[in-house]
Amino acid sequence: MIEGFVPTLLVGIVGAFLAEVIRVLPAVRKGKPPRGWDLVASLLQVVLGGGAVLFGWDQEQSALKVAVMGAAFPLLFSAAVDGAKPPSGGHSGRDVAHGERSVADYFAGRF
């Protein structure tokens, strides 16, 4: 059980980081690892995932629950971007392997 601002934030960041690593593994396997602005986007999602768990930091909570809530933010945000923006470059379908990947494509998990 954890309680307090800093412990809650840190556990949320760890959960968001693990979710982001799992989400980025397909890009690494395809030989298109995150670079430049993609890394900034990943860092932003991890920080926002840590911040998303701060509702209720003043109460004692399960560390697993906080980590899962932190992990949920990057995944939900990616799904929202995926549904809101069509693939860039005018490609049909979702494969961006033959074109340049934009940051929005990266956010959406289009590798």
* pLDDT tens, N- to C-terminus, the chain (111 residues): 888 888 888 888 999 899 888 888 887 888 888 788 888 888 888 888 888 888 877 788 888 888 888 888 888 877 777 777 665 555 544 444 445 666 666 666 655
Distance CA 79, CA 81 (A): 6
Three-class SS state of 4: coil
Distance CA 103, CA 100 (A): 10
Is the pTM higher than 0.85? The answer reads no
CB 52 within 8 A of CB 45: no
Task: Name beta bridge partners: 2.
Answer: 61
How many Å separate Cα 47 from the centre of its chain?
9
